[in-house]
Structure formats: C-alpha cells, structure tokens
Amino acid sequence: MAWRRERAGWGFVGPNLAAVAVFLLIPLGVSLYLSFFSWDLFSPPRFVGLENYRRLFGVDPLFPIAARNTILFTVLTLVPTVAIGLGVAALLNRKLAGIGFFRTVVFLPLVASTVAMAVVWRFMFNTDDGLLNLGLGWLGIDPVPWLIDPNWALVSLSVVTVWKSVPFATVILLAAMQGVPQQLYEAARIDGAGPWRRFRSITVPLIRGPLSFVFVITVINSVQAFDQAYALTGGDGGPETGTYLFGIMLFQHAFGFYEVGYASALAWVMFAILFVLTLLQLRFARRGTEEI
C-alpha cells in the first residue's frame, strides 16, 4: 500500500518535475556553460574562459550605465509599489457595500498585456497631445518631455511598472490581512488604539512574511524588466541611455549583436545579484518574525 501511494505521488509530481528540468534547469546549465564561450549562433562556440566576465566588469562602458539605471529604476518602482499596494490592500480590507466592485477595478491591470499596456501609456506620455500633458496644460503647467528627456523617460517607465505591479502586491497583501485574527483588533480597540495604531502595531507585523515576498518579487521583476521598456522606449534603451536597463542590454547582445556567450555572462551576473538580494531580504524577514 505504501509503495502504491508513493508511486501515485511520483506520478502526479513527475510531469511538473520534468517541466522544471526541461524548461528551467537545463537552460540554466546551458547558459552557464555558454557564459565561458564566444558564440554567434552560427559558428562553433569558442572557449574564452572568464573573458566575458572580464569584459563585462572592466571593458564594457555600458555595463555601469545599465547597472545605475537598473538600481534607480528598482528603487523608483519598489518603494511606490509596496507603499501603494499596502495602502490599497488596507482600504479594500473592509466589509462595505460594493467593495467587490472596487476590488475588481483595482485588480484589472493585473490581467492586462504588458506590451499593450505600454503602448497605451506611450500615447498618454506623448509630449504634444498626450493625455497627461493635456491635463497639465489645463492646470497651467508646461508640457513634460516624458519620453524625450532621459531622466523623465526612466520616471515614466517606473510609473508604468508601478501601475502594473500594484495589483499583484495588493492581492498578496489583502489575502494576508484577511488572515489576521479579528480578536486582536477588537482587543486593541477596547484598549483605545486608533486605526493607524492598529495598522502599525498589528497588521504590519503579522503580514511581514507576505510583505517580504512582495518586496522580493518586485525587486526581481524590476531587475529583469524588459518588455515594458522595449514597448515604451524601444529596444535601444533610449532616449540616449536613459532607459538602458540590464534587460535591454541582454537583449541587444543576444539577439542584436549575436554575442550569446556575453549575454549569458550578463544573465548570470543578474542571477547572482538577485540571489544575494533575496537571501538578505529573507534573512531580514526571518529576524523580524523571530522578534515578533
């Protein structure tokens, strides 16, 4: 009987494990292998050792630019996403008439296509007749070069990414808030704690785990951002190098310059950065849980 149960379990798990191996583990191993080679997709791969990594950190002048833009873009995306997601989740965590309608409206951007969404935002960011500049004109404010100025282009990209990321953060945090025991709120209310004090002293500490998860996922999505940047500002990281992120750099070298080995080295550098950041955040969240 035990063997039958184990065999049935492996039968259910087996297809998923096979999919993970074929579509995740094997490509990871191949990309690590190719990071030590020079390959243009046509000629045979040529072993170069650590040359791709030396070029990445010591020769390529665009790598520091991509790193700077990615860090700034991550900060501009992470802070608003977590803050807005937490606030919206708190507002939706109420038993009010029609609250289901507002939850549906908030979650709609989550199901929208990233590319289609970026195209719509591109029309809204148009300098001459975009919706945002028209609204600013009605307020007596000069037009903003959203997608023309390099600094504003990165801000525009962050706005679009936040708009796309907030619904996911809201879903996770709202589900966590609904799992907080109501008895704690009732006891705090009896003791005279106001809404802000209950939120700060009860809600936030008890959802630290999901909050950490949202933090990690947002950082990962920001470092790996590509599709919204490509659709909003093009595949060259323009204007100038204002939106030249790691994702754009990887795409250019892999499919524009056909430097697959160099792109693979960049991909593993991105993986190492995300791995370290994830470990640090998980350690911070675990320490916070132990203190509670």
Give the pLDDT confidence of 73-82 residue by residue, as tens digits.
999 999 999 9
Task: Tell me the two tokens of residue 232.
Answer: 């909003």
Q: Torsions phi, psi of 146, nearest 5? A: -55, -50
For residue 235, give the 3-state DSSP assignment.
Answer: coil
- Within a domain: 41: no
Q: What's the sign of the alpha-carbon dihedral 254, 259, 260, 266? A: negative
Please report, for the domain that includes residue 157, its CATH number: 1.10.3720.10
What is the identity of the amino acid at 106?
V
pLDDT, position 257? 92
pLDDT digits (tens, 9 = 90+) for 208-221: 888 988 999 999 99
- Within a domain: 254: yes
Task: Calculate the alpha carbon distances from 3 to 9, 14, 25 in Å.
Answer: 10, 16, 28
Q: Structural domain tally of the chain?
A: 1
pLDDT digits (tens, 9 = 90+) for 100-131: 777 777 787 877 788 888 888 999 998 888 89
Q: Which of 210, 204, 233, 263 is nearest to 69 (CA)?
A: 233
Euclidean distance between CA atoms 270 and 233, whole angstroms: 22
- Within a domain: 4: no
- Within a domain: 55: no
DSSP 93: S
Range of the domain at 255: 61-290
What is the identity of the amino acid at 194?
G
Q: Which of 114, 125, 213 is nearest to 163 (CA)?
A: 114
pLDDT, position 34? 94
